Every structure is written in structure tokens, then in C-alpha cells.
């Protein structure tokens, strides 16, 4: 048996033209432009009808993938990360044989089942059961195989009582469950999955990733595209970072994700306003910068739970005698924590004089679950007062899973006889 | 004791990557995808192996076509019946048919049974790729199934309206049983013709959406090149070899010839029509699979 599942040999994909209508001449557009020039000549006002032309580079060919070489090993879970437009979906489409590469060679060592959408081929007027069959055959499975796994699929999706109703009565979460369940039970060799689990609830997302883990241990190969870095890091053996159609980095999940996030730091680890006009705030207080720094004062974006980091907020005070009470809000998927002064310290603090102030708050990262956390900041005038500004999610921080796996050692188990 | 935080540690160990990659037998791929422009290629094996997909696509169309309508599949019979009635009232006087011949309305119905199938199948097949971008862009399937699906699912409509035609035959009398027995062959010719048109037009409609709008005019044109509104015998004999190149001429006259007192079955349009339908189908297949690798980028 081959050690590979997919091999890409300098695969490139070119889209000839990005402009609408693919640059085709259209009769009505021709007539319209003629009528316009005629109108201009008769009315004699050349300036009132602006001619909108696509920028010339819109019609230039675009290389969405450029010389991609990649070996995917059998039985591994490979994560694909990269910013929007990096070519992730195009790569998955090429591997799924939906579109073909312009150059290069793709070797597949098994049947590819693609889950690029919530339930491919689903139709609103068909019952859940009919949709399972349709979606299942589109994944390349025979009807017999679906027959034998039908009960399992329905049970995993948790749509038992509704399976005979038309799909239009399903919620979008139920559709996703059904679609994923079909893919997870019927794809046996290579599963290709685009960011699709976002609609599912947390419990289901977790169940999906565990199911994928289970399948890969039994020899299936999974290719996942996701922007959920914590999940990718937790469940993928290796990660490929695509950037502008090229493979920027391949390697173990931890290091690739770390450098990927580092490349995005400008967008997430720090926020600055150089211009007083755009800076958030009112005529009394202006927010100028927010950043997360480590002990040495360097801006960070990806940390371990044991690292010591603090939040810095630079504020301009423009008038005399303003009480300043900083508030920050740390939020993640499904939770939110507000950090603010208690009432005593409100009373202790006096009003500030004009100038630039820096507020620091140490963040105790072990309070937060791993994953992305977003931090919002504000300055308010008092416990019941108004906010000078309140900016949600100005900076973001990835809290990685600690390595090695966190463990908690205890003295001993207590043992007692049980009836 | 070790307490593991969070989820099940699925990715605790990276896979050992020490495979023997030197053994060439080990690394023989199951499939190699060559880049674009490597020539048209009709994946006959895939078309056969994926027949379950075709089955469920047809089922999907059958179950959803008349969903939420009261009459449901009654519309498949009402369509040709109503058209025949309108024609009998409006044109019945113009095309008065000689004594002893079958009533004009009944003649029209017999001709409309295959024609309704054909025009419906070609219209649906033409839009099949445009109307199913989800299937083209999100799934891998033999794409010739998409134009084939309406052609097969409309056979159910054809069966229903043919049943009504049989009732007419029972009432008015059958010309000869051989002309009834030849009907399955006529249906086959019609399927091949519709598929040929469907393959050509559906692919052309991806390139130029105009085709999807223009197909109804093409069908109107074809309607007048087919003896639906008038019997073939009312046309000059010399035109027949040219008209017969249209496969639907043979099919429609074949359907009408089952009625007692109408023209007898002609062999020439059947043979010529069968020939052109095969050419249409084969070139359609060639054209479809020449353009097929591109369509995901064009839709």
C-alpha cells in the first residue's frame, strides 16, 4: 500500500480573467456605449456621463496557485491555513477533481470524498432520508453501502424523528449535522473538508473533530481548511500554510501556526491610531494604542497559558479634572469576562490632568481556555458613568495549548468499598 | 495521575513519516489527474460506475418537480390534452382532414405526446448545468448526468401521456399493431436526439447564457419543421428527404401512424432521423467532454 494519499507535483492554477462577464463582448453593452456617445454629441456635455472602465489589471490572468508541491501521507490529518484568497479552496477543488489544474500533476491514491459545502446536492423538498442517499452517492458511495450505514448516519446527526420530513423544515444546524454525518460515515479514503463546521454548535464541532480523528486512525486521510487555529492545532498532524498561491510553510501544526499568526500580527496583536481624527473617543479622552506585550515589552500575538503578558492601553486626556476608569473585556468563543476597578478604587482615584497616560493590566492567561481571545477596551467616567469610548475586539491573542499536555498531579486517589 | 485538559488527545503524536518511498510499486497512484488541455476524454467507466448518482438525481427531480401542486403529475397529461384542445378549436377548420380520417384534435394529441416530451427535455437539459451550480462546483460527478437527468425523468411524463394515447387508440381503433410495437424504438431515437441537443446546448449555455434564453425559439422553429400541427402528407413529397433529417419527423409521424385512418409509418424518415440523432449524440458527447474540465471555472 502506498504511503501517500495525495501528491501534488508543481500544481498551478491560472484563472484567465477576474472581470465580470469574462471580458466577453456583449451586444447590449456595445449599443449602450454607442447611445451614450451619441447623447454626448447631441447634448454637447462630455463631462456629465462618466465612463467607468475596469482597471486594466482586472483582465490580466491570475495565478491562484503557483507551483504547489505537497505530499499528503496516508492516515494523517492535514490542516490548510492561509488568509482569504490564498488558494485554499482552489486547491481542495483540484484535489476533488471539480476543477483541473493549468499545469502540474496530481496523484490520488484513493477515492476522494469532498465536503465543500453543507450537504452537497441537498434539496429542500426532499426528505432527510432521500437527501442522505443523494448526498451519499455524490460522495461516490454505492446505494447498498448507504443502506447498511443509514441508521448510523441518522443517529450521529441526531435528526432521528425528523428524517422523514422535507429538508426545508430543518434548521441550518440540522442540515450541517446531516451533511457532515453523511460525509463522515461514507468517505473511507480521502476526506476533503472546507471550512464548513462553523454553523454547528460547540458540542457538534467537537464531536466532528473527534470523529475525524477516529477515522484517520483507521487509515483515512483528512484535508481540512479552517480558520479555527486552536482546532487545527489540536487535531491536525501537520499544517500547510498557503500564501498567495504558494506553499509558505509545511510542518508540524504548532510551529506553522505560530509563524502564520506571527505574519498576521499587524492585524491582530496591536492596534494604533496615529491620527487624532480617526481615534476612538470623545472631546475629553482619546484612545491612541492598544497592545499586548510580554515581560520584555515585545508585542505578542500567540502565547502559552503560563506566559506572563499584559495589556497596554495608551490614552490621551484633553481636559483638566476627568476621572478615568479603564475597563477591558476579554472574550472568546461563548464566554466573556470584564475586568474593571472595584468601587473602592473608583473612589480613591482622583481626576487626571491633560497628557498621555498608559494603563497596564496583567492578564492571567490560565483563566482562559485555549483558542483565540479578543480584547476590548474602554474608559468610563465612573461606576455608573458614561463611556468616553468603548471599542470591542480591538486586539486578539491566541492562547495555545500548553506543551507538554498540561497535567495535574495529586497525592493519591481515595479508595473505598462501593456497594 | 494525569488529568488531561480539554478534549481527547487525538493529535498527541505526530505520525511517523518513515515510509519507504523508494519502492516504486508502493507509490503507484490510483489516479493521476493531468492538467487542462490534455484532450477530450469520455469517462465511460465512470459513467457506468456512478449510475447510482444518476438514479438519485432522477428521483430527486421526480419527487420535487410537482411538489406542492394539487394536480401533481396530472399536469403531465393535462399539458398535451389542453394544447390539443386549443389547436382543435383554433386550427381545426383550417386543417380539415378528409373523410374517414381521424379527427384533427386527436391527431394533434398523438403528435404532441412525443413533442411535449422532447421540448420539455431539451429545455430542461439546456439549463441543467446553469441551474445546478452547487452540483458542478461542490461535488465530483460525471457531469453528463446533469443534462441526462431531465431527459430520463421526463420519460415518466411521456409514459403518463402515452397511457392516455392508448385510451384514444382503444376508442378510435389502431391502424396496425406493428406501428404500436415500433413505439419503443421511436422513444429511443427521441432520447438519443434530446441527449444530443442537451449535451450541445447545456455546454454552450455555460459559455453564453443567451443559449438558455434562445432555446425556446429554437424549439419553436423545430416545431414547424416537424409535422405536429399538420400531417406530413399535407406537405410536398419532394421536401421529405430534407425534412427527414430532423429525427423528430420520423418519431412524430410514427406516433401518429398508430391511429386508424392516418398516414402509414414511413421508413425513410426513421432511418435518416436515426442516423442524424446518432451524429448529434456523438458530436454532443465529444463537445461536452472537450469543454467539461473548464466548466467549474466558468459557472
Q: For the residues of A145-194, what is the DSSP string, one character each?
A: HHHHHHHHHHHHHT-GGGTTSBGGGS-HHHHHHHHHHHHHHH--SEEEE-
pLDDT at B192: 96
B268 assigned to some structural domain: yes
Asked whether the predicted pLDDT for residue A406 surpasses 80, the reply is no
> In this structure, what DSSP letter does residue A299 have?
B
Asked whether the predicted pLDDT for residue B285 surpasses 70, the reply is yes
CB atoms within 10 A of CB A131: 26
Q: How many residues does chain B have?
A: 299
Any idea which of A99-108, A275-284, A341-350 has the lowest mean pLDDT? A341-350
CB < 8 Å from B in window 326-365 of A: none
Whether residues A76 and B15 touch (CB distance < 8 A) is answered with yes
pLDDT at A241: 92
Q: How far is CA B258 from the centre of its chain?
A: 24
Of A4, A93, A114, the CB nearest to B27: A4
Across the range A39-68, mean pLDDT stands at 70
In this structure, the strands spanning A325-332 and A371-380 are antiparallel
CB-CB contact of B136 with B176 (8 Å): no
Q: pLDDT category, A45, cuts 50, 70, 90?
A: low
Any idea which of A41-55, A131-145, A189-203, B129-143 has the lowest mean pLDDT? A41-55
User: Can you tell me which residue has the cell 483507521?
Assistant: A218
B155 assigned to some structural domain: yes
Closest among B114, B16, B59, B202 to A121, alpha carbons compared? B59
CB-CB contact of A212 with A222 (8 Å): yes
Largest CA distance in chain A: 103
Asked whether the predicted pLDDT for residue A134 surpasses 50, the reply is yes
B31 assigned to some structural domain: no
pLDDT at A109: 87
CB < 8 Å from B in window 173-212 of A: 206, 209-210
How many angstroms separate the first and last alpha carbons of chain A?
52
In what side-by-side order are the strands of the sheet with A309-317?
Answer: A270-272, A285-293, A309-317, A355-363
Q: Please indicate if any CB of chain A lies within 8 Å of the CB of B1.
A: yes
Any idea which of A84-88, A128-132, A262-266, A276-280 has the lowest mean pLDDT? A262-266
Across the range A220-238, mean pLDDT stands at 86
pLDDT exceeding 90 applies to what percent of chain B? 30
Q: Please indicate if any CB of chain B lies within 8 Å of the CB of A405.
A: yes
Which residues 6+ apart lie within 8 Å of A117 measured at CB?
A179, A194, A196, B134, B138
Across the range A333-353, mean pLDDT stands at 73
Higher pLDDT residue, A412 or B295? B295
Extended beta strands in A266-370, E state:
270-272, 285-293, 302-303, 309-317, 325-332, 335-340, 355-363
Which residues 6+ apart lie within 8 Å of B158 measured at CB?
B113, B114, B117, B187
Helix, coil or strand: residue A202: helix
Whether residues B138 and A120 touch (CB distance < 8 A) is answered with yes
pLDDT at B287: 92
Q: Which three cell numbers stand for residue A153?
A: 448516519
Q: pLDDT category, A23, cuts 50, 70, 90?
A: very low
Q: Which three cell numbers stand for residue B164?
A: 392516455
CA atoms A331, A335, A338, A339: torsion sign: negative
Query: What's the CA gap between B136 and A397, in Å, rounded?
Result: 39
pLDDT at B107: 84
Whether residues A237 and B11 touch (CB distance < 8 A) is answered with yes
Helix, coil or strand: residue A139: coil
User: Can you tell me which residue has the cell 467607468?
Assistant: A52
pLDDT at B240: 81
Query: What's the CA gap between A227 and B56, in Å, rounded?
Result: 34
Any idea which of A149-163, A176-190, B28-42 has the lowest mean pLDDT? B28-42
Before A404, cis peptide (omega within 30)? yes
pLDDT at B1: 38
Query: What's the CA gap between B216 and A120, in Å, rounded?
Result: 30
CB < 8 Å from B in window 278-337 of A: none
Q: pLDDT category, B146, cuts 50, 70, 90?
A: very high
User: Å from A294 to nearest chain B CA?
Assistant: 25
Query: What's the CA gap between A120 and A114, in Å, rounded?
Result: 9
pLDDT at B200: 95
Query: What's the CA gap between A12 and A244, in Å, rounded?
Result: 12
Q: Please indicate if any CB of chain B lies within 8 Å of the CB of A82.
A: no
pLDDT at B201: 95
Asked whether the predicted pLDDT for residue A159 surpasses 50, the reply is yes
Q: How far is CA A341 from the centre of its chain?
A: 34
Q: Tell me what the pLDDT averaged over chain B comes to.
A: 82
B33 assigned to some structural domain: no
Q: Please indicate if any CB of chain A lies within 8 Å of the CB of B99.
A: no
pLDDT at B21: 45
Q: Which three cell numbers stand for residue A53?
A: 472602465
pLDDT at B186: 92
> In this structure, what DSSP letter does residue B34 have?
P
CA atoms within 13 A on the CB side of A240: 25
Q: pLDDT category, B275, cuts 50, 70, 90?
A: very high
Q: pLDDT category, B229, cuts 50, 70, 90?
A: confident
Of A73, A117, A236, the CB nearest to B17: A73
Domain tally, chain B: 1
Can you count the helices (H) and strands (E) in chain B? 14, 1
Which residues 6+ apart lie within 8 Å of B170 measured at CB?
none
Asked whether the predicted pLDDT for residue A209 surpasses 80, the reply is yes
CB-CB contact of A324 with A356 (8 Å): no
Q: Please indicate if any CB of chain A lies within 8 Å of the CB of B2.
A: yes
User: Å from B46 to nearest chain A CA?
Assistant: 10
Higher pLDDT residue, B100 or B127? B127
Query: What's the CA gap between A196 and A227, in Å, rounded?
Result: 10
Helix, coil or strand: residue A381: coil
Q: Which three cell numbers stand for residue B181?
A: 410495437
Query: What's the CA gap between A2 and B282, in Å, rounded?
Result: 39
pLDDT at B127: 93
Partners of B10 on chain A (C-beta within 8 Å) are 77, 209-210, 213, 234-235
B297 assigned to some structural domain: no
Whether residues A114 and B4 touch (CB distance < 8 A) is answered with no
CB-CB contact of B290 with B206 (8 Å): no
Across the range A39-57, mean pLDDT stands at 63
Asked whether the predicted pLDDT for residue A379 surpasses 80, the reply is yes
CB-CB contact of A138 with B139 (8 Å): yes
pLDDT at A41: 80
User: Å from A6 to nearest chain B CA?
Assistant: 9
Q: Tell me what the pLDDT averaged over chain A comes to.
A: 82
pLDDT at B116: 92
- Helix/strand/coil (H/E/C) assignment for every residue in B207-270: HCCHHHHHHHHHHHHHHHCCCCCCCHHHCCHHHHHHHCCCHHHHHHHHHHCCECCCCCCCHHHH
Buried b / exposed e along B136-172 (16+ C-beta atoms within 10 A): bbbbbbbbbbbbbbbbbbbbebbebbbebbeebbeeb
Closest among A70, A71, A64, A73 to A101, alpha carbons compared? A64
User: Can you tell me which residue has the cell 425528523?
Assistant: A162
Across the range A149-168, mean pLDDT stands at 88
pLDDT at A232: 85
Domain that holds residue B256: 57-290
CA atoms within 13 A on the CB side of B170: 6
B255 assigned to some structural domain: yes
Which residues 6+ apart lie within 8 Å of A261 measured at CB?
A229, A268, A301, A302, A398
Asked whether the predicted pLDDT for residue B120 surpasses 90, the reply is yes
Q: Which three cell numbers stand for residue A253?
A: 501544526
Asked whether the predicted pLDDT for residue A59 surpasses 80, the reply is no
CB-CB contact of B119 with A91 (8 Å): no
User: Å from A150 to nearest chain B CA?
Assistant: 15
Asked whether the predicted pLDDT for residue A333 surpasses 50, the reply is yes
User: A195: phi > 0 → left, psi -120 to 50 → alpha, else beta; which?
Assistant: beta
Across the range B166-194, mean pLDDT stands at 88
Across the range B216-226, mean pLDDT stands at 90
Across the range A55-83, mean pLDDT stands at 83
Amino acid at each position: 500500500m502506498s504511503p501517500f494519499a495525495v501528491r501534488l507535483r508543481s500544481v498551478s492554477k491560472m484563472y484567465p480573467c477576474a472581470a465580470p462577464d469574462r471580458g466577453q463582448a456583449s451586444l447590449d453593452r456595445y449599443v449602450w456605449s454607442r447611445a451614450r456617445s451619441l447623447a454626448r454629441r447631441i447634448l454637447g456635455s462630455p463631462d456629465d456621463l462618466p465612463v467607468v472602465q475596469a482597471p486594466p489589471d482586472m483582465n490580466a490572468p491570475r495565478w491562484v496557485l503557483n507551483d504547489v508541491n505537497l505530499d499528503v501521507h496516508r492516515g494523517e490529518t492535514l490542516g490548510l491555513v492561509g488568509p482569504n484568497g490564498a488558494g485554499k479552496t482552489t486547491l481542495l477543488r483540484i484535489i476533488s477533481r471539480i476543477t483541473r489544474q493549468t499545469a502540474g500533476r496530481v496523484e490520488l491514491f484513493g477515492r476522494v470524498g469532498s465536503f465543500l459545502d453543507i450537504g452537497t446536492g441537498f434539496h429542500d423538498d426532499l426528505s432527510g432520508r432521500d437527501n442522505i442517499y443523494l448526498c451519499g452517492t455524490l460522495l461516490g458511495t454505492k446505494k447498498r453501502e448507504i443502506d447498511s450505514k443509514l441508521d448510523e448516519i441518522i443517529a450521529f446527526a441526531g435528526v432521528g424523528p425528523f428524517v422523514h420530513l422535507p429538508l426545508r423544515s430543518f434548521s441550518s444546524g440540522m442540515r450541517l449535522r446531516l451533511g457532515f454525518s453523511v460525509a463522515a460515515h461514507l468517505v473511507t479514503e480521502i476526506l476533503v473538508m472546507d471550512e464548513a463546521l462553523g454553523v454547528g454548535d460547540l458540542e457538534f464541532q467537537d464531536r466532528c473533530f473527534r470523529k475525524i480523528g477516529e477515522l484517520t486512525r483507521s487509515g483515512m486521510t483528512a484535508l481540512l481548511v479552517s480558520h479555527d487555529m486552536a482546532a487545527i492545532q489540536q487535531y491536525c498532524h501537520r499544517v500547510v500554510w498557503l500564501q498567495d498561491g504558494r506553499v509558505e510553510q509545511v510542518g508540524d501544526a504548532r510551529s506553522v501556526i505560530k509563524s502564520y499568526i506571527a505574519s498576521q500580527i499587524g492585524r491582530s496583536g496591536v492596534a494604533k491610531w496615529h491620527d487624532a481624527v480617526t481615534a476612538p473617543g470623545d472631546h475629553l479622552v482619546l484612545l491612541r494604542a492598544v497592545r499586548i506585550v510580554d515581560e520584555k515589552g515585545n508585542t505578542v500575538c500567540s502565547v502559552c497559558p503560563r506566559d506572563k503578558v499584559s495589556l497596554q492601553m495608551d490614552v490621551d486626556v484633553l481636559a483638566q479634572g476627568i476621572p478615568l476608569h479603564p475597563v477591558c473585556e476579554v472574550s472568546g468563543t461563548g464566554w466573556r469576562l470584564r475586568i474593571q476597578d472595584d468601587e473602592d478604587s473608583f473612589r480613591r482615584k482622583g481626576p487626571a490632568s491633560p497628557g498621555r497616560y498608559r494603563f497596564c493590566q496583567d492578564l492571567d492567561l490560565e483563566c482562559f481556555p485555549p483558542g483565540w481571545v479578543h480584547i476590548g477596551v474602554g474608559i468610563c467616567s465612573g461606576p455608573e458613568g458614561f463611556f468616553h469610548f468603548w471599542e470591542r475586539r480591538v486586539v486578539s491573542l491566541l492562547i495555545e495549548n500548553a506543551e507538554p499536555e498540561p497535567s495535574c498531579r495529586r497525592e493519591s486517589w481515595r479508595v473505598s468499598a462501593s456497594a | 495521575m494525569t488529568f488531561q485538559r480539554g478534549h481527547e488527545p487525538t493529535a498527541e503524536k505526530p505520525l511517523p513519516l518513515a515510509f519507504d518511498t523508494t519502492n516504486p510499486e508502493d507509490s503507484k497512484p490510483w489516479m493521476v489527474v493531468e492538467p487542462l488541455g490534455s484532450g477530450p476524454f469520455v469517462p465511460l467507466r465512470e459513467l457506468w460506475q456512478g449510475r447510482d448518482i444518476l438514479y438519485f438525481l432522477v428521483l430527486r427531480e421526480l419527487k420535487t418537480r410537482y411538489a406542492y401542486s394539487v394536480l401533481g403529475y396530472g399536469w403531465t397529461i393535462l399539458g398535451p390534452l389542453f394544447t390539443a384542445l386549443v389547436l382543435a378549436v383554433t386550427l381545426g377548420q383550417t386543417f380539415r382532414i378528409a373523410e374517414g380520417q381521424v379527427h384533427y384534435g386527436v391527431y394533434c394529441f398523438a403528435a404532441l405526446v412525443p413533442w411535449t416530451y422532447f421540448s420539455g427535455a431539451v429545455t430542461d437539459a439546456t439549463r441543467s448545468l446553469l441551474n445546478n451550480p452547487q452540483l458542478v462546483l461542490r461535488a465530483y460527478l460525471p457531469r453528463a448526468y446533469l443534462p441526462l437527468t431531465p431527459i430520463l425523468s421526463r420519460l415518466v411524463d411521456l409514459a403518463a401521456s402515452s397511457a392516455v394515447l392508448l385510451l384514444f387508440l382503444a376508442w378510435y381503433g389502431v391502424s396496425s399493431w406493428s406501428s404500436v410495437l415500433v413505439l419503443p424504438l421511436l422513444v429511443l431515437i427521441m432520447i438519443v436526439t434530446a441527449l444530443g441537443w442537451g449535451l450541445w446546448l447545456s455546454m454552450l449555455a455555460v459559455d453564453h447564457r443567451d443559449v438558455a434564453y434562445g432555446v425556446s425559439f429554437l424549439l419553436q422553429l423545430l416545431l414547424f419543421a416537424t409535422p405536429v400541427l399538420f400531417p406530413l402528407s399535407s406537405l410536398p413529397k419532394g421536401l421529405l428527404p430534407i425534412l427527414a433529417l430532423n429525427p423528430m419527423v420520423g418519431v412524430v409521424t410514427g406516433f401518429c401512424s398508430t391511429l386508424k385512418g392516418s398516414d402509414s409509418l414511413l421508413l425513410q424518415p426513421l432511418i435518416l432521423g436515426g442516423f442524424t440523432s446518432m451524429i448529434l449524440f456523438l458530436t454532443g458527447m465529444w463537445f461536452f467532454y472537450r469543454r467539461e474540465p473548464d466548466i467549474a471555472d466558468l459557472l
